[in-house]
Amino acid sequence: MRNAQGSHRAARSGRHSRTQAAQTYAAPPAYDPYEPQGPVPKGRYAPYAPSAPYGRPAEAGRPSETGRPSEAGYEAAEQRTDRVPRQYPPLVRPAGFAPAGAVGGRAAARLAARRKRAAERPEALRRLVPQALVVAFLAGGTSAFIAQDKSIKLSVDGVPRTLHTFADDVEELLDEEGVPYGAHDIVAPAPGQALAAGEEVVVRYGRPVTLTLDGRRQQVWTTARTVAGALRQLGVRADGAYLSASRHSAISRRGLSLDVWTERTLTFMADGREHTLRTNAATVREAVEEAGIVLHGEDTTSVPPDSFPRDGQTISVLRITRGEQVREQPIPYRRVEHADPHLFSGTEVVDQQGRQGAKRVTYEVRTVNGVKQKPRKLRSDVVRKPVDEVVRVGTAPVPASVAGADGLNWAAMARCESGGRPGAVDASGTYGGLYQFDTPTWQALGGRGRPQDAPAAEQTYRAKKLYVQRGASPWPHCGRKLHQ
């Protein structure tokens, strides 16, 4: 009984040798067909020789040191299809060996059953290992699959949705979802940013806006979807402003044209009083009307009424009156000269006196706030045409002397009569020239026109002719100067 129990313990540990079993039990020992036992017989089939000790992972069909079959063992077991059970020498029973059914027969039967189950265990393990590998592979692949899947919240132009994706970054996600974007669009995080589970990706499309702000037109882009949002995004102060579209109006992807007139402070100077106004008027004319200032007739403002009023601007109201004023102005006559060879050089004879004409000119008289401005010429009408002056100009040379009168002191007498001035005329207007001729005497001597209009040389020549005819009697007071 003790021997049976010891054999039982040896069988459980796998380390009880077959020789000991043969000496202990009467029944033939159960053996492992793949366990090397003694010399290897020569024959057709080569026996299998394990590359590692019993119990190592590389040994097929055997449990590893951890107690679990190894993948290498399963792989090797599947490949060893040419192994056959080994042949052992005949069992020699020692003296006194009890056969089955004798003392200890029940323990031997149990031991044989256990050994049979142990022999069947490798075959069961060989069937179980591939199934375990498949399960392990599927479990690892599923874990990796689940690890790559990410839950992302995507908001496109304000429309959010939650989705699952395997994309590595934002750009790949948008490409998978067919979401385009351009230079004027906002993508947050940036397209090249890596994605993490639970992250939120926002895409906001840009919209073109033709903005006319206080009269200045420009093209801008905004990602806001309403007029109010665009004004906030562009930094436009819209409190009290005039808007061409409602603040709640939607801005489509095609864009919008928007006029904005912000509220400004204006100061008006009218009729000696000052008016201050807060307005969002687009023109000065509208602002004047809002201020309650009435413009009459030609009244206007110091800046063009259709111009844009700037914040803090001072505008003067100009009260204008208009009238007409008529003035008569002379029209000068022309002088027409004709050469006359019968007259001495320097002598001119007026054949026709010139006469000025007259014209009537109408001017506009304008007053601004009671101050008269420079008149502006409106039209001109001729009332009387001018008459040309016709003059004959002598070209004949003046004689150098007159017989009987040369050698006298004519210069002294000229100084006595006229102070030596050829154009001198007495107070009565009757006598003129160097020698104070009257016009009839002058013309009787061959002179033309008036004596004071003739050159000095001709006047002296005519005076000598008169002296030859009448002596010094024509000059009763200054005649004696001739002989000094």
Concatenated DSSP letters for 272-317?
TEEEEEEE--SSHHHHHHHTTPPP-TT-EESS-TTSPPPTT-EEEE
Residue 130 CB neighbours (<10 A):
13
Q: CA torsion sign, 265 to 269 to 275 to 280?
A: negative
**402-483 to CATH, choices 3.40.920.10, 1.10.530.10, 1.10.10.10, 1.20.1050.10:** 1.10.530.10
* 3-state secondary structure (DSSP) of residue 471: coil
Q: Confirm if 457 and 346 have CB atoms less than 8 A apart.
A: yes
Q: Are 3 and 11 in contact (CB under 8 A)?
A: no
Same fold, 264-318 and 323-391: no
Task: Please give the C-alpha separations between residue 20 and each of 15, 102, 118, 383, in angstroms, as whole numbers.
Answer: 11, 19, 19, 167
Virtual torsion, Cα 447, 449, 451, 454, nearest 10 deg: -80
pLDDT digits (tens, 9 = 90+) for 143-158: 444 557 889 999 998 8
Tell whether domain 323-391 is in CATH 2.40.50.40.
Answer: no
Q: In whole angstroms, what is the distance from residue 330 CA to residue 336 CA? A: 19
The Cα 360–Cα 344 span in angstroms is 43
- Residues 6+ away with beta carbon under 8 Å from 235: none
> pLDDT for 345-372, tens place per residue?
877 888 899 999 999 999 999 999 989 8
How far, in Å, CA of 98 to CA of 1, rounded? 12
Residues facing 398 on adjacent strands: none
DSSP letter at 472 equals T
Paired with 364 in beta bridges are 324, 376
What does the block give as tokens for 461?
A: 């020549």
The predicted pLDDT at position 160 comes to: 92
What is the pLDDT at residue 242? Answer: 86
Q: How many helices (H) and strands (E) does the chain have?
A: 10, 21
Strand 207-213 versus strand 256-261 pairing type? parallel
Q: Does the model's pTM come out above 0.75? A: no
Q: Calculate the alpha carbon distances from 418 to 184, 415, 475 in Å.
A: 102, 6, 12
Query: Domain spans of the chain?
Result: 2-131, 151-204, 207-261, 264-318, 323-391, 402-483
List the chain residues with pLDDT less than 50. 1-107, 134-136, 139, 141-145
Asked if 222 contacts 207 with a C-beta cutoff of 8 angstroms, the reply is yes
> Which class does domain 264-318 fall in?
alpha beta
Q: Which residues contact 223 (CB under 8 A, 6 or more apart)?
A: 184, 185, 186, 204, 205, 206, 207, 233
Please give the CATH number for the structural domain made up of 207-261. 3.10.20.30
